[in-house]
Chain A
Amino acid sequence: MTQPAPRPTMPTRAKRRIPVPGQSPAEDRMLAMIAALASELAVTRERLDSVERLLERANIVDRAAIETFTPDAAQSSDRDAIRRRLIAHIFGPLRSDADAQGDA
């Protein structure tokens, strides 16, 4: 079997990012993390809203069942992936900073 050609990775950092005079990199990073967090929350709320509306439309929503739901192994690993992506996204600014230090 032939290996598919590796896909080029997309660039993630823009060239020329100057400091805001008087602002510490820590504050810049902290604000970015909060913005990412807000985005994650907005996305989740929107998804939940879609799910609830669809369930409602199909007449199958049983809110009590949500409280007692237990995921199986595959479902748990899906959830792990969701959670880890969320962490990587929210704390991405920590990583770009570390990468930039590494490049310097």
Chain B
Amino acid sequence: MSHPMLPATTHDEAAAQLFVRDFKMFLTESVEPGHRARAERLDPGASSNARVETVYDRLHADEGFRAWASLRRTSQEMLWAGVSESVARQADSLEALAAAAPEHGSLTLDPNFVQPAYLDSGDVHLMPGGYAHDDGALLQGAVMDRGGAVYMLGRNGGLMNDVRGHTIVAHIFAQYPDLDPREILELGCGVGTSLIPVASAFPDAQVHGIDVGAAMLRYALARARHLGATVHLHQGDAENPPFPDASFDLVFSSVLLHETSPAAIANIMAQCYRLLKPGGVVVHLEVPNRYDELDLWGKIRGEIEADYNNEPNWKAAISADYRALLAQAGFSDIAVGYQAATSTPLRGAGGFSDTSMGTFRSWFVASARK
């Protein structure tokens, strides 16, 4: 399945994007195991108080590791270069398509908006221009949408990239079956890949999304309109969302927290509490790993992602004690665990448990009630 705003590809653009996909797969499946084995040989053992740092440094002494790490980054740069070239070619048709969309929903931009320092300090996933890029157009959103689908290698709902959103709905059905939200907010909605499935599960609700980038949000609105979803999008900071207290029945985030900062995570928890009506529900979905459960290579891989793919808050986000953070923010009925990934959330299907089924099979979820 696809949608009208998704940039199309020519024969050669599609071939170039498939090359990036397969090149990444080669680097991961055929080259990485060798470095993983070497890391185990370089392990100073559990008694070392700087185990990960030591192995990470030692790995860098090897030319092959350095070549692999730099080609991994290069493959990511090629992904964005290929997608941007393709999007730029379609600039006129994408703008025209956006202008021709049925006019429902809204976009509220803040001309004085300043992006948080942690986003300004490096472009996450090496996407040139970053999330907050604004050139008055909507192309950055198209780049993010298409690039995201290629980046996930088709493991998150193909070109719709919507499994995370459906999984959040499945979690609500499993843990809060009585919830009938009238007002919904997503913090860090991006181009709306997760917001749309949540909106379609609750068709009577008013649905809002907030994010940092004007270009991305212009695209998100056009994308939602063409998909028949009515959403109200706002440029703003999840640490200080521009809404009055007790405005929402459901506030959620999807893979937002690991791209913020430790201080921001605590602030966002507090804001969710403030924004919810009594009895309202908060759901945070995150990458399905916990730092202390990772093996040595899992931890090394995290360092590689932080350094060479601009994921600086990854470690803090998967080390955080969400039960304590939610309790501290005032929440009760706290649930922390893993929700089975799905594209077809059903009431009564459950799917929430204490154990991860692995990457892309389940997502980490921390949720609670006000």
Within 8 A of A (CB), among B106-130: 120-123, 126-130
Within 8 A of B (CB), among A1-50: 7-8, 10-18, 20-23, 27-28, 31-32, 35-36, 38-39, 42-43, 46-47, 50
Within 8 A of A (CB), among B57-74: 60-61, 63, 66-67, 69-71, 73-74
- Report Cα–Cα, A42/B262, bound state, in Å: 43
- Chain A positions within 8 Å of B, measured between CB atoms, are 7-8, 10-18, 20-23, 27-28, 31-32, 35-36, 38-39, 42-43, 46-47, 50, 92
- Asked whether B130 lies within 8 Å of A43 as measured between CB atoms, the reply is no
Which of A18, A31, A38, A43 interacts with B307 by CB under 8 Å? A18
| Complex interface: chain B residues within 8 A of A17 (CB) | 73, 126
- Report Cα–Cα, A92/B81, bound state, in Å: 10
- Report Cα–Cα, A64/B337, bound state, in Å: 65
| Closest residue of B by beta carbon distance from A89 | B81
- Asked whether A43 lies within 8 Å of B16 as measured between CB atoms, the reply is yes
- Asked whether B60 lies within 8 Å of A22 as measured between CB atoms, the reply is yes
- Asked whether A12 lies within 8 Å of B81 as measured between CB atoms, the reply is yes
- Report Cα–Cα, A82/B226, bound state, in Å: 35
Which of B11, B78, B128 interacts with A11 by CB under 8 Å? B128
Q: Could you give 26 example pairs across A and B, Cβ below 8 Å?
A: A7-B88, A7-B137, A10-B84, A10-B88, A10-B135, A12-B81, A14-B80, A14-B127, A14-B129, A15-B121, A16-B121, A16-B122, A16-B123, A17-B126, A18-B307, A18-B308, A22-B61, A23-B67, A31-B70, A31-B74, A32-B70, A39-B19, A39-B20, A42-B18, A43-B15, A47-B15
Which of B18, B20, B84, B130 interacts with A15 by CB under 8 Å? B130
Given pairs A14-B126, A22-B66, A42-B15, 4 additional interface contacts (CB within 8 A): A11-B84, A20-B308, A43-B19, A46-B15
- Report Cα–Cα, A55/B66, bound state, in Å: 45
| Complex interface: chain B residues within 8 A of A38 (CB) | 19, 23
| Closest residue of B by beta carbon distance from A23 | B66
Q: Does B136 contact A (CB under 8 A)?
A: yes
- Asked whether B74 lies within 8 Å of A32 as measured between CB atoms, the reply is yes
| Complex interface: chain A residues within 8 A of B237 (CB) | none
Interface residues on B, range: 35 or more
- Report Cα–Cα, A50/B135, bound state, in Å: 37
Q: A18-B308, A42-B15, A92-B81 are in contact. Are A35 and B71 (CB under 8 A)?
A: yes
Which of B69, B74, B130, B135 interacts with A35 by CB under 8 Å? B74
> Which residue, of A11, A12, A13, A47, has the highest number of chain B Cβ atoms within 10 A?
A11
Q: Does B87 contact A (CB under 8 A)?
A: yes
- Report Cα–Cα, A16/B23, bound state, in Å: 23
| Complex interface: chain B residues within 8 A of A32 (CB) | 70-71, 74, 77
- Report Cα–Cα, A2/B126, bound state, in Å: 37
Q: Does B12 contact A (CB under 8 A)?
A: yes
- Report Cα–Cα, A11/B135, bound state, in Å: 10
Within 8 A of A (CB), among B72-102: 73-75, 77-78, 80-82, 84, 87-88, 91
Which of A7, A20, A35 interacts with B91 by CB under 8 Å? A7
- Report Cα–Cα, A42/B69, bound state, in Å: 22
- Asked whether A16 lies within 8 Å of B11 as measured between CB atoms, the reply is no
| Complex interface: chain B residues within 8 A of A15 (CB) | 120-123, 130
- Report Cα–Cα, A93/B297, bound state, in Å: 30
- Expressed in whole angstroms, the minimum distance between the Cβ of A97 and any Cβ of chain B is 13
| Closest residue of A by beta carbon distance from B22 | A42
| Complex interface: chain A residues within 8 A of B120 (CB) | 15
- Report Cα–Cα, A22/B18, bound state, in Å: 31
| Complex interface: chain A residues within 8 A of B128 (CB) | 10-14
- Report Cα–Cα, A22/B59, bound state, in Å: 11
- Asked whether B70 lies within 8 Å of A28 as measured between CB atoms, the reply is yes
| Closest residue of B by beta carbon distance from A35 | B74
| Complex interface: chain A residues within 8 A of B308 (CB) | 18, 20
| Complex interface: chain A residues within 8 A of B15 (CB) | 42-43, 46-47
> Which residue, of A15, A22, A47, A50, has the highest number of chain B Cβ atoms within 10 A?
A15
- Asked whether A31 lies within 8 Å of B19 as measured between CB atoms, the reply is no
- Asked whether B126 lies within 8 Å of A50 as measured between CB atoms, the reply is no
